[in-house]
Structure 1
Amino acid sequence: MPAVHPFHAIQYHGGAGDVSRFIAPPYDVLDLAAKARLLSHDPFNVVGIDLPHVPARQLGPRETYEAAGSRFESMLAEGILTKRSTPAMFAYRQRFTFSSATHERLGMACALDIAPFGPRDGGGILPHEETFSGPKEDRFALMRATRAQLSPIFGLHADEQGTAVQLLRSIVSSRPADLTARMADDVLHEVWTVEDPAAITAYSNALAGQDVFIADGHHRYTTALNYLRELEAAGALHQHHPARRCMAVLVGMSDPGLVIGPTHRVLGGMETYTIDRFLQALAPFAQVAEGPTHLIEIERAMTQAAADANGRNVLGLIDFRTHTSFVATLRDPDPLAADCPDKPREWRTLDVAVIQHLIVRRICEPTLNGGRPVTWAFPHSVDEALDIGKGRETGAGGGAGFAQLAVIVRPTPLEAVRAVSKAGQLMPQKSTFFYPKLATGLFINPVG
């Protein structure tokens, strides 16, 4: 693994107490209404800096980023945010409920040496999914304006012996948290400041030689890499310049609290789409059965179908015009072998890859949209997909009123993430949803 370091974090409340009103979810899950709600809790909420332009899927006007930079400087000058005089790492625990069960996930916030993507001796930085150009342009403009990494990337490492997670457990059990926060989703965020050199060294040693798999934050890591390259091109940077490092929260894959949820697809903008035409085109590739009348129960029907599918892909389908649902079981256990022979089998059998290459590229675009691209949204729940189908803007993309068809998927297995990354391949965009998201505003990394 690239070396990990403590860093001079910028924090609210001097890094102590309850900061619930100041923190926010990551920029890429927020819309204007969510931003307004957060700022109504406190005008100094970090979202006022981290989300200058909505949507963050594309580059906004220059003045919005300049305003964010000025706001950040003002909050530092007024003491609302303060920079630590000594470097530290931060043990970070999230307690949450998922699928009616209570979980806790442990990670360490640190500064990770930036390196180009790919395997290397001593451990590399491995992405697992493709990215969009718009968010990278947005994040780059914001980093230029603030000279800070406002939110951490979420990285995974093997930790096969559980050494790192045991160290984290010893830290969080030794004393109360220094910093706490709770957001509207009821996830409890707790942070312990780690200054002890022995603990920092022990943690660094536990990660030695391991790869970092980026679970969330591909755009942010790429932005940090591009920012470093820009500074290097402008002149020499000393070896320990903070821009050479990227703020990350690292979690071991052995952590029992590591949960992956689904990222469904909502498709629209197809000129000749009807559910009958779509099902007719799908028939050579899948066996299709009627789904539940109560659309919210589609995942239960998929689970039942998967029990008899012998490992084949099972997808849920919801048509928004007729309010009907279907469960599709693919006929071929390796459905993209002919289309994508250069990809490993773990990649070819991903639900999200099947949607992109079979559903969209072989059916929707050529048959139902004259060869033109369809419009996408990426909801994380069936409820959110149904809201999009009702014409609501949820922040999942696409815009209001575009939706025609929801394709419901099962969560991507963690082992598939590891296998695809190790093979040097990238999954389609929005392939994974590690729940819960890391909070923004618990720690900020200055890189100026």
Structure 2
Amino acid sequence: MAVVSPFRAIQFSGGRGDVSALVAPPYDVIDAAGKKRLLDRNPGNIVAIDLPHVPAKELGPPSAYQGAADRLDALLREGVLSKHASPAMFAYRQTFEFMGKSFERCGMACTVEIAPFGPRPGGGILPHEQTFSGPKEDRMALMKATRAQLSPIFGLYADDDGAGTSVVRGIMASRPADMTASTADGVRHEVWTVEDGAAIASFTRAMEGEDVFIADGHHRYTTALNYLKGLEEQGGVGPEHPARQCMIVLVGMSDPGLAIGPTHRVLGGMAGYSAEAFMQAASGHLRFLPVKGDVHALDRVLTDAPRHETHLGLHDFATGQSWLMSPVTPDPLRTQFPEKPDAWRMLDVAIIQHLIVEQICQPKLNSGQPVKWAFPHTIEEVQEIGRGAETGAGGGSGFAQMAVIVRPTPLDAVRDVSRANELMPQKSTFFYPKLATGLFVHRVE
């Protein structure tokens, strides 16, 4: 099974009080300006250690990573950071607004025994989607220098009986949080230190037989796995060595605060594209129903469409027109991917990638050349990209020709595809919000 354990976390302020000025978003959403803002507010912010080189997708000079290690060691010597005397778990609540609703997402920070990705008897560690080639060299250089995991993986588990979520929420209901933080995205973070053996045992029992699905942090988990392999090759890594554990926040799929949003697609850069040309090229594959109004109106129509059927929204930026799209056949990828499970073939994002892009846009509208992509999460961002803006969602600026609006990927699809040992296409899911960095650090020496 996926074995979870308490750990001796390193925390700011002894794990107590407000640490808003000391925590940061994950490294992969921070640019140079964002890093400067955090350090201007407080030079001791964790970002100085977690993001020593910008951008993280490039490997920085060795001095950057050694500087991060020196800073971590200095903060420990000065008592700004301190390591727990005994192992603990940490109940972690995030309170936030998302898509017009209020949520409280509750999980448990702990460590999980590192194992290769894939199913195992009694529960394995399962990735759920393909990832872009990312900052693996940067993360490995940082882990080697600091000998630490600086930010937790975000993991999910089925929690069909609600036992794990009940343990976590029961701890939160029993007393005030020990440590709090508020971040610039409006999210409230609260942490309860859990040293009680009975509570830890209850959560550990709840995880028995559970798969752990990596919701966010595939690169960091891979880095932890490769770091352990490197130590094993050198010899002398005992069964209790901290590097055998990966720091993770586990949230049950039964938790009512688990929010998943859409990741829309904006496509462009196609030499032969027009809305008319696209619909002609798609005849025989897709049906089109005109929708009056802007992209927001299209999104509302899509939201109200029957859930048991595949529906996608199409918006043409040149004309401002929109359509509701649906496949002509109920299983349009069956011929191309007969070996894939139904849950994978019916993913909206799989149909976009393998039907709309690979069978229609690239061969028929772009002479077989790759199209440009962006992956916005909101309708407002879709509109910005359509006006030519660079939002950081990919593709650059001024390329947008069409948007494909999607509904959020259902959680049961995440579970079913992962358990079938398959990977969803890149950017299939959007779990909001990100976990904060700086609430816990795990030393791996």
Q: CA deviation at 1:66?
A: 4.0
User: 2:251 maps to what in 1?
Assistant: 251
Correspondence 1:8-407 to 2 at 5 A: 8-60=8-60, 62-304=62-304, 306-307=305-306, 311-407=308-404
Change (3 A) 1:66 1:171: same
Change (3 A) 1:273 1:38: farther
Gaps of 5+ in 2: none
Number of positions where the alignment pairs a residue of Structure 1 with one of Structure 2: 445
Q: In 1, distance between residues paired with 2:273 and 2:408?
A: 27
Change (3 A) 1:53 1:395: farther
Q: In 2, distance between residues paired with 1:205 and 1:353?
A: 36
Alpha-carbon contact 1:31-1:395 (below 8 Å) kept: no
Q: CA deviation at 1:36?
A: 3.5
Q: CA deviation at 1:418?
A: 0.9
User: 2:440 maps to what in 1?
Assistant: 443
Q: CA deviation at 1:410?
A: 0.5
Q: CA deviation at 1:262?
A: 0.8
SS in structure 2 of the partner of residue 133 of structure 1: coil
SS in structure 2 of the partner of residue 97 of structure 1: strand
SS in structure 2 of the partner of residue 354 of structure 1: helix
Q: CA deviation at 1:67?
A: 3.9
User: 1:417 maps to what in 2?
Assistant: 414
**Could you report, residue by residue, the CA deviation over 1:107-135 in whole angstroms, capped at 9, with x for unpaired residues?**
10001100111121221111111122223
Change (3 A) 1:367 1:210: same
SS in structure 2 of the partner of residue 397 of structure 1: coil
SS in structure 1 of the partner of residue 213 of structure 2: strand
Tell me the amino acid that sits aligned with residue 380 of structure 1: H
Tell me the amino acid that sits aligned with residue 227 of structure 1: Y
Q: CA deviation at 1:280?
A: 2.2
Tell me the amino acid that sits aligned with residue 439 of structure 2: L
Alpha-carbon contact 1:268-1:403 (below 8 Å) kept: yes
Alpha-carbon contact 1:311-1:333 (below 8 Å) kept: no
Q: Percent identity?
A: 61
- What TM-score do the two structures reach when normalised by structure 2? 0.93
Tell me the amino acid that sits aligned with residue 121 of structure 1: P
**Alignment root-mean-square deviation, CA:** 2.1
Change (3 A) 1:297 1:12: farther
Alpha-carbon contact 2:96-2:104 (below 8 Å) kept: yes
Tell me the amino acid that sits aligned with residue 424 of structure 2: M
SS in structure 2 of the partner of residue 103 of structure 1: strand
Alpha-carbon contact 1:29-1:396 (below 8 Å) kept: no
Change (3 A) 1:420 1:441: same
Q: CA deviation at 1:61?
A: 5.0
Change (3 A) 1:393 1:442: farther
Q: In 2, distance between residues paired with 1:142 and 1:175?
A: 36
Q: CA deviation at 1:64?
A: 4.1
Tell me the amino acid that sits aligned with residue 435 of structure 1: Y
Alpha-carbon contact 2:266-2:400 (below 8 Å) kept: yes
Change (3 A) 1:10 1:320: farther
Tell me the amino acid that sits aligned with residue 419 of structure 1: D
Alpha-carbon contact 1:312-1:330 (below 8 Å) kept: no
Tell me the amino acid that sits aligned with residue 331 of structure 1: V
Q: CA deviation at 1:205?
A: 1.6
